[in-house]
């Protein structure tokens, strides 16, 4: 079984050392581990530099360009300009070759050490797993209240519209079976991208499980969420979701 890990990056030069000391040791330990009865025998890590204006791309190449491991490969993708998180995820998905794909924040706001626990939830009929700080067993540690209010509020609306049992719809930190990213297209370039993918997969009948996780604040840099635009994107998508649900009901009513 091959595992791919997609790591979008935008102005993350200060976090490259964290990736080197906290992320890659976890990746190396995943070789030989089991996921849903299969064994991970190779891993590829795909860094996507989303048009960074600092030295992110050079720092990534400097830290990992000469990395050598018989079972681990590293790929670098780059956008000439900043296109957004959703676009970065799509670029990563376009080059991955793994049976299972993990997407993770480059700043470690969800601790990299929890990747094995995230993968443990990908079993049976579960097609993808999402980190869930808003799950009753999840946690939020030191993150500014306004960010949590907006994110939790968006997830609350998706719970009402889609599935009340799922608590978090906005996390990037996830694990997917290959069929999900092959079969479910998403168009949003911004922070809506991951939510759009999740919602569309659920509407197609793919089973999701939550990994109760702790969300931590960034140690370096600033959050890349453009709040007003992000709120507008979610509200627009939610209105389309409402219309979709009403259309389905009208079909059954007829």
What tens digit of pLDDT does each residue of 146-185 get? 778 888 989 999 999 999 999 999 999 999 999 999 999 9
Q: Please give the pLDDT value at position 224.
A: 56
Question: Average pLDDT of 31-48?
Answer: 97
Q: Please give the pLDDT value at position 248.
A: 53
Q: Please give the pLDDT value at position 254.
A: 46
Q: Please give the pLDDT value at position 147.
A: 75
**Where is pLDDT greater, at 211 or 224?**
211
Question: Average pLDDT of 43-56?
Answer: 97
Handedness of CA 88, 34, 163, 111 (dihedral sign): negative
Q: Please give the pLDDT value at position 143.
A: 87
197 neighbors 126 (Cβ within 8 angstroms): no
Its CATH class, for the domain covering 2-253, is: alpha beta
Nearest-angstrom CA–CA distance, 209 and 128: 7
Identify the helix (H) or strand (E) that includes residue 109.
Answer: none
Q: Average per-residue pLDDT in the chain?
A: 92
Question: Average pLDDT of 69-84?
Answer: 97
163 neighbors 156 (Cβ within 8 angstroms): no
Say yes or no to pLDDT of 246 above 80.
Answer: no
Q: What is the pLDDT of residues 96-135, one digit of tens each?
A: 999 999 999 999 999 999 999 999 999 999 999 999 999 9
- Terminal Cα-to-Cα distance of the chain (whole angstroms): 47
Nearest-angstrom CA–CA distance, 195 and 157: 12
The token pair that represents 153 in the structure block: 């509020």
Q: What percent of the chain has pLDDT over 70?
A: 93
Nearest-angstrom CA–CA distance, 140 and 59: 30
Q: What is the pLDDT of residues 189-222, one digit of tens each?
A: 999 999 999 999 999 999 999 999 999 986 555 5
Task: Provide the whole-model pTM.
Answer: 0.92
With bands split at pLDDT 50, 70 and 90, how would you rate the model's confidence at 253?
Answer: low
Per DSSP (E only), the strands in 13-168 are: 34-35, 38-39, 42-50, 72-79, 100-103, 126-132, 139-140
């Amino acid at each position: 079984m091959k595992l791919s890990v997609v790591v979008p990056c935008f102005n993350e030069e200060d976090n490259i050392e964290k990736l080197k000391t906290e992320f890659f040791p976890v990746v190396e330990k995943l070789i030989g581990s089991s996921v849903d009865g299969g064994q991970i025998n190779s891993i590829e890590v795909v860094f996507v530099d989303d048009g960074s204006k600092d030295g992110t791309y050079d720092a990534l190449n400097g830290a990992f360009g000469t990395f050598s491991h018989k079972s681990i490969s590293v790929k670098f993708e780059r956008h000439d300009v900043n296109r957004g998180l959703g676009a970065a995820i799509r670029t990563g998905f376009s080059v991955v070759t793994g049976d299972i794909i993990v997407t993770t924040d480059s700043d470690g706001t969800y601790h990299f050490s929890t990747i094995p626990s995230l993968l443990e939830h990908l079993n049976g009929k579960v097609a993808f797993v999402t980190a869930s700080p808003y799950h009753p067993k999840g946690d939020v540690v030191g993150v500014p209240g306004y960010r949590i209010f907006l994110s939790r509020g968006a997830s609350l609306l998706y719970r009402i519209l889609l599935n009340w049992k799922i608590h978090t719809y906005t996390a990037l930190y996830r694990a997917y079976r290959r069929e999900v990213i092959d079969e479910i297209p998403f168009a949003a370039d911004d922070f809506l991208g991951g939510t759009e993918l999740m919602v569309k997969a659920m509407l197609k009948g793919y089973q999701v499980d939550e990994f109760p996780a702790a969300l931590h604040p960034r140690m370096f840099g600033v959050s890349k969420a453009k709040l007003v635009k992000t709120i507008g994107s979610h509200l627009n998508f939610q209105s389309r979701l409402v219309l979709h649900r009403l259309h389905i009901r009208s079909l059954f009513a007829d």
